[in-house]
Amino acid sequence: MEITYNTKLYSLIGNPIDKSLSPIIHNNIFKNLKQNNIYLAFNINQENLKSTIEGFKAMNVGGFNVTIPYKKSIIKYLDDLSTEAKIIGAINTVKNKNGKFIGYNTDGEGFLQTFYNNNISIKDKNCLILGAGGAAYGIGSTLAMHKVKSIYIANRTLESAIKLEKNIKNIDKSIFTQIFDLNLQGLHKENIHIIINTTNIGMYPLENMAPVELNGFSKNTIVYDIIYKPKETKLIKEAESKGMITFNGLSMLLNQAILSQKIWSNGNLEIGHKELEEIEKKLNI
């Protein structure tokens, strides 16, 4: 694709973003769709977040994705949020709608699509979420909306876990919730159906670490680590050694990318399974 003065800019902002695969995915989608767009990743410091958004607006950027650690803190710089993003309290996708920046959250739906694709129901399941950051809000809220039985939250800081629990309860008060430290002391591990790691433990520079140990969990437990690089985190390797079903973050990343593209294109997106397989091969992980 030739870059011209008509080329529309889309981007990813976060810190760090040097390991992100989003530019490869989105630029290949634009190429397959023959769209005159380009997607770039920007490493942004907290003190420059507001000015970055102002600069994007001044340049009429078409839209952008948001990753760690700005999924919540960016909200005050946006013009509005989708209904779902308001409920979740965190965003990962922004659309330029007639000069207004609107925030959306595709974390939960991107996560959930993996279960749909593998014919796995989450209804009435006991779920353990590791972490309480922006991704945990999207996933936790989606689990609550889809009627899981219980959500256990394990996090390093109690304050963040309490806020996430409150968010979940605001969606469905009937869901049982409980908070733990990452040592999981007191948790009845054998009753957990799904473990979701939303922390950065397992990605660079923490590749040799796992957020929790899997001793005591049933071999029927599903382990979903939303980290996609490395493809097999220490947590995933341990789960596979115990015969557990595992998913990494690559499927969620691809699902999110498609959902973001649909938001930017007003739902006018047609990309086939074959094209997605070709993009996945180019990721080289």
Strand partners for 247: 224
| Residue 269 annotated as part of some ligand binding site | no
Q: Is 140 within any annotated ligand binding site?
A: no
Q: What is the separation of C-alpha 234 from the centre of its chain, rounded to a whole number of angstroms?
A: 19
State the Cα torsion 231-193-252-228 to the nearest 10°: -20
Residue 191: closest CA among 210, 217, 171: 217
Q: Is 79 annotated as a binding residue?
A: no
For residue 226, say whether it is annotated as part of any ligand binding site. yes
Query: Is 22 annotated as a binding-site member?
Result: yes
User: What's phi and psi for 59, nearest 5 deg?
Assistant: -85, 0
Q: Is 20 annotated as a binding residue?
A: yes
Does the annotation flag 265 for ligand binding?
Answer: no
* 35 labeled binding residue: no
Q: Confirm or deny that 46 is annotated as ligand binding.
A: no
Pick the catalytic residue: 71, 95, 125, 229?
71
166 carries an active-site annotation = no
**C-alpha–C-alpha distance, residues 92 and 134, integer Å:** 8
Tell me whether residue 137 is annotated as binding: no
Tokens of 236: 């995933």
Q: Is 9 annotated as a binding residue?
A: no
Q: Is 67 annotated as a binding residue?
A: yes
The two tokens of residue 40 are: 């770039």
Which residues lie across from 152 on neighbouring strands? 128, 178
For residue 131, give the nearest of 111, 145, 102 by alpha carbon: 111
Is 202 annotated in a binding site? The answer is: no
Q: Is 51 annotated as a binding residue?
A: no
Return binding residues for NADP(+): 131-135, 226, 249
Return binding residues: 20-22, 67, 92, 107, 131-135, 226, 228, 249, 256
Query: Residues with catalytic annotation?
Result: 71
Return binding residues for shikimate: 20-22, 67, 92, 107, 228, 256
